Amino acid sequence: MWISEPRARHVHAACASTGRLFAVASLVLATAIVLLGLRLPTAYHPMNTMAWIVGAASVLSVLYAALGLTGVRAHLHGGYLDAAGARRTKRLLVGMWAAAVVFSALACFAFLGTVVSQVGNPLHPEVRFTVGVWAQLCLLAAPPVLTGVLFFVGRRLLDPVPPAVRQGAAVTPAVGGAGATTYPLPPSPQRYVWITAARTHEVRRACGRLGTALLTAGVLLVPTIVLLGDRLPPLYPALGFLSWTFATIGLVQVFVAATVLRGARRHVRDEHLDLHGALTTRRSLGVIWGFGLFSTVFSGVGLALALSMPAGGPAGEAVRYPAAAWVVLSLMVTPGALTGIAFFAARRLFPSPATARRPGPTAG
């Protein structure tokens, strides 16, 4: 649909700057939640651990909403906006806002309940409502606010929009009653764009090497985690099962990401880039990264709580994790990191259609 070229440039710039700002803010917020959660007087309590981990997971909603808003640029071409893409972006922002509300509420209730239950405990007289406790509550409540801001910013930029231009006809709005301005039909988007032979070789080689590296890392992670897992102390059965289940899901995402990257080489051949295939690769790796992050978070939650519960339960003393536990926890976060590397590598190797289309020779 036609939105005019100045409006399209404004939407492009606003989505890019806002999305990047909030993506960085989400990473800072997650780091602050984790670091403060580890230094609170209730750090010994398993529910405190669950609260800051779920709170950090809620920040993923902010990150995904920010990346979704940044991705609006792929739906802009000249003075036109892809209406279907705009609707998908708005639905994504609504979904991430709802997810942030749910996860943040769970984290706040878990943390607040932990503090209330431990205030007055003679074994832990240091637990009380301090500035740090209130600061942590504010941090845990921040993700719904940030995703809400992103939703309203996205709605302002993408809605209301002019009626869609029908195929085979032009829109002719009156201008001051003195004449008419005809909007041209949107040009047929190029599916293939020309790239140099050197760039073709670089992209194919990078996809192959990174895909092979991910496959190798996944193959090495499986026996390493299993062998070190045998050295862990007894785990709480249900939580241990939860942890290993999500760890397995995370490892599967590494293999899937490697397969997608290696298969993406078919989108670059004969000095031409298939934009449809490139966009599919970027989106697929984004979804895979999401599954990898969620699996990483919940496998870490399960392992931390499974190690904590046998050590005296919620009212027990501070939990001392053995060295093997820290190593296994570190390995469990690796799938999220590896799938993230694959996602950002694909963004660098395969530009979005909005930035890749250039006048020049095309194929097909």
Q: Is residue 340 domain-resident? A: yes
Q: In this predicted model, what pLDDT tens digit does every residue of 298-313 receive, in sequence order?
A: 787 778 777 766 544 4
Same domain assignment for residues 156 and 225: no
For the ranges 102-106, 215-219, 286-290, the lowest mean pLDDT is seen at: 286-290
Identity of the residue numbered 157:
L
Q: Is the pLDDT of residue 361 over 60?
A: no
User: Which is more confident, 185 or 293?
Assistant: 293
pLDDT of residue 338: 92
Specify the DSSP element, H or E, that contains 91: helix 83-118
For the ranges 104-108, 203-207, 228-232, the lowest mean pLDDT is seen at: 228-232
Same domain assignment for residues 22 and 148: yes
- Last residue in a domain, options 118, 140, 161: 161
pLDDT of residue 182: 53
Q: Is the pLDDT of residue 96 over 80?
A: yes
Same domain assignment for residues 130 and 20: yes
Specify the 3-state DSSP secondary structure of 247: helix
Number of domains in the chain: 2
- Close Cβ partners of 255 (under 8 Å, ≥ 6 residues apart): 214, 215, 218
pLDDT of residue 125: 64
Q: Is residue 265 domain-resident? A: yes
Confidence of residue 149 (pLDDT cuts 50, 70, 90): very high
Q: Is residue 106 domain-resident? A: yes
Q: Per the structure block, which two tokens stand in for 83?
A: 């209406």
Q: Is residue 169 domain-resident? A: no
Same domain assignment for residues 131 and 199: no
Same domain assignment for residues 116 and 195: no
pLDDT of residue 179: 47
- Highest mean pLDDT pick, 122-126, 179-183, 214-218: 214-218
| Residue ranges in the chain assigned as alpha helix (H) | 5-39, 46-70, 83-118, 131-158, 197-229, 237-263, 275-308, 323-332, 334-349, 353-356
Q: Is residue 140 domain-resident? A: yes
Q: Is residue 184 domain-resident? A: no
Q: Is residue 175 domain-resident? A: no
Supply the mean pLDDT for the chain: 78
Same domain assignment for residues 213 and 330: yes
pLDDT of residue 57: 79
Same domain assignment for residues 222 and 325: yes
User: Which is more confident, 112 or 312?
Assistant: 112
Same domain assignment for residues 52 and 155: yes
pLDDT of residue 163: 43
- Last residue in a domain, options 111, 146, 161: 161
* Residue whose pair of structure tokens reads 């700002």 in the numeric block: 21
Specify the DSSP element, H or E, that contains 272: strand 272-274
Same domain assignment for residues 231 and 140: no
pLDDT of residue 58: 85
Give, as one character, the DSSP assignment of residue 306.
Answer: H
Same domain assignment for residues 267 and 129: no
Q: Is residue 172 domain-resident? A: no
Same domain assignment for residues 153 and 195: no
Q: In this predicted model, what pLDDT tens digit does every residue of 334-359 receive, in sequence order?
A: 898 999 999 999 888 887 665 555 44
Distances in Å between the alpha carbon of 300 and those of 141, 211, 246, 357? Answer: 22, 25, 9, 42
Same domain assignment for residues 72 and 201: no
pLDDT of residue 200: 87
Identity of the residue numbered 283:
R
- Last residue in a domain, options 161, 180, 211: 161
Q: Range of 263's domain? A: 191-364
Confidence of residue 236 (pLDDT cuts 50, 70, 90): low
